[in-house]
Amino acid sequence: MRSIRNALTRRQWAKRLNDLWDQLRETTVQGFVQLGRKKLIEAWLALKDSGGEPFAAWAERELKFGRQHAYKFMKIARWAKMMGLSRTALQVLPPDYSTVYRITQLDEETFLTPVESGVINSRASRGDIAKAVRWEKVSADQRRVLQLVPVKGKFRTLVFDPAWEYDWLSLAGRAKPGYAMAEPRATPCS
C-alpha cells in the first residue's frame, strides 16, 4: 500500500483530490466522509512520508477547497468512524459540510439527544445545530446545578447569575438577563 501512495506526485494528488471535490461538492455526508477518510487522510500519510513541504502548505496552495476545508473533512471522517456511524445514520445528517463539521464537535450524548428528538436531521441548518447545542449545554448546566449541595454558614456577599434567554435574542440583546430579578430577590437567604 505504501508504494502505491508514494507513486503519485504532489500534482497528481492535487488533481485526484480536486476531481473528487468536484464530484462530491454537492452530494451527501458519505461523500464528505469518503473525501476525508479515503483520500485526504491517505494523501496526508503519503505526503508526510515523502518529505518536502508540510501537508497544510501543500493543501492551501494546491487544493481548490484549501487547507481548512481539508482538515474539516478529515475531522468529519474521523468523527464518523469514532461514533461508528453507518451509511444509514449518515443520511440523517444535513448535506452541508460546515454544518456536519459543527456536529462533530458534539460528544456522543450531546449528539444523540438532538438526533433522537429530530432536531438534527437532513434539513437542519448550522443555526439549528447551534441552538440544539446551546440548549443541551443549558440543560446539562441545570442538571449540574440541581446536584449542588447548599453550604450552611454566614456570607458577606451573595452573587446571583440568573439564567439568560438566548433563543429569541440577538447577540447584542444578550447583555441583559432574560427575566426580571423578582425570582432571585424572592429566594430566602437565611
The rounded distance, in Å, linking the Cα atoms of 29 and 100 is 8
The confidence score (pLDDT) of residue 121 equals 84
Is the pLDDT at 139 greater than 60? The verdict is: yes
Mean pLDDT confidence for 11-18: 90
Share of residues in the chain with pLDDT > 90 (%): 16
Asked whether residue 23 carries a pLDDT value surpassing 70, the answer given is: no
Q: Which residue has the higher pLDDT, 63 or 30?
A: 63
Does residue 62 carry a pLDDT above 60? yes
User: Can you give the pLDDT at residue 153?
Assistant: 86
> Which three-class secondary structure string do you get for 123-174?
CCCHHHHHHHHHHHHHHHHHHHHHCCCCCCCCCCCCCCCCCCCCCCCCCHHH
What nine digits make up the cell of 157? 456577599
Q: What is the pLDDT of residue 130?
A: 82
Residues 6+ apart with CB under 8 A from 43: 5, 13, 16, 17, 55
Residue 162 — very low, low, confident or very high, per pLDDT cuts 50/70/90?
low
pLDDT in tens, 163-185: 665 555 555 555 555 455 566 66
Nearest of 107, 128, 127 to residue 117 by alpha carbon:
128
> pLDDT, tens digit, for every residue of 68-117?
999 999 999 999 888 888 877 787 888 888 889 988 888 777 788 778 88
CB 35 within 8 A of CB 21: yes
- Cα gap 60→106, rounded to integer Å: 27
Checking if the pLDDT of 26 tops 50, the result is no
- Quick: pLDDT tens for 34-61: 888 888 988 988 888 777 788 889 999 9
